[in-house]
Amino acid sequence: MDERTLSRLLDDVAAGRASVDEALEGLRDLPYESVPGARVDHHRELRTGQPEAVYGPGKTPAQVADVARALASRSAGAVLVTRAAPEQAEAVLEAVPGARYDERSGLVLVKRAGAGAPPGEVAVVSAGTSDQPVAEEAALTIEASGCAALRIGDVGVAGVHRVLEHRGDFERVDCVVVVAGMEGALPSVIAGLTSTPVVAVPTSVGYGASFEGLAALLGMLSSCAPGVAVVNIDNGFGAAQVALRIVRALRRAEA
């Protein structure tokens, strides 16, 4: 029941064409019925402020391309395909002009937010070279929303001086995304150095008992530095979304 229907119903009541009881009956189940915007996916962007994203795994290349094309034609903002396999990426690149593919992170950017001053800056710190695909997924997602991403790489806790050098950056940016595998200790060290919000991303990098990122995940959740927010293993996209929620709130606060 959309606004037009509702309006017509009220007109009928006003005009005496419908009794109050009849109108009441028609309205009773309204909370459960079709709400304007529910069926049209790009309303979601307005509702939560996030660009549309398509999760690649388990879909055929054609399915991914179709959804991407549909979203790109309707959306004002960016459209992303995450964890895209090469053949999915190829299908999207054919279907949507201007799409780009970052093979190591598996991210397809179907559309990039326009020019203008970036609304904020997020630092994306990675502990080792092997963590970079996940960090890149985060950085590209952040940039796709028109926000700046400051990439800081190869900053492991076993050489703690490199971390200390970047203390000024951590304080300056709006949010710090920290990507680390193995023991996942980097967010604890960084959160101990700065009051900026810290989002931790465990990666599946590591020998046997890292158990595909479980060690890093549990370590980050158990951080002795208070105020570390954690997302799923290898989920650079999700970390970027957390950071972007904060950036948007900051810009609203300034406005």
Whose CA is closest to 198, among 211, 185, 215, 183? 185
Q: Of 114, 115, 116, 207, which one interacts with a copy of itself (CB under 8 A)?
A: 207
CB of 152 to a copy of itself, least distance (A): 13
**Residue choice 84, 139, 163, 178 for contact with a copy of itself (CB under 8 A):** 163
Identity of the residue, 116 or 168, whose beta carbon is nearer to a copy of itself in the bound complex = 168
Q: Look at strands 107-111 and 198-202 and give their pairing.
A: unpaired
Q: Is 157 in the site for a copy of itself (CB under 8 A)?
A: yes
13 scored as a contact of a copy of itself (CB under 8 A): yes
Question: How far is the C-alpha of 239 from the C-alpha of 229, rounded, in Å?
Answer: 9
Please, which residues bridge with residue 54 across strands? 81
Sites for a copy of itself among residues 27-66 (CB under 8 A) = 27-39, 41, 44, 47-50, 53, 55, 57-60, 63
- The reply on whether position 172 binds a copy of itself by CB under 8 A is no
Is 77 among the residues that bind a copy of itself (CB under 8 A)? no
Contact set for a copy of itself, span 81-100 (CB under 8 A)? none
Q: Count of residues binding a copy of itself (CB under 8 A)? A: 124
Of 90-98, 105-113, 142-150, 231-239, which part binds a copy of itself (CB under 8 A)?
Answer: 231-239
Does position 174 interact with a copy of itself (CB under 8 A)? The reply is yes
Write the CA distances from 118 to 132, 144, 149, integer angstroms: 23, 11, 10
CB 90: neighbour CB atoms within 10 A? 15
In the complex with a copy of itself, which residue's Cβ is closer, 55 or 73?
A: 55
Candidate list 70, 85, 148, 218; residue touching a copy of itself; CB under 8 A: 218
**What's the token pair of residue 74?**
């309707």
Q: Which is nearer to a copy of itself, 97 or 103 (CB)?
A: 103
Q: Where are the alpha helices (DSSP H) in the chain?
A: 3-14, 20-28, 43-48, 61-74, 86-95, 132-144, 160-165, 167-172, 186-191, 214-221, 236-254
Q: Is the CB of residue 142 less than 8 Å from the CB of residue 179?
A: no
- 156 scored as a contact of a copy of itself (CB under 8 A): yes
- Is 196 a binder of a copy of itself (CB under 8 A)? yes
Q: Are the C-beta atoms of 66 and 59 separated by less than 8 Å?
A: no
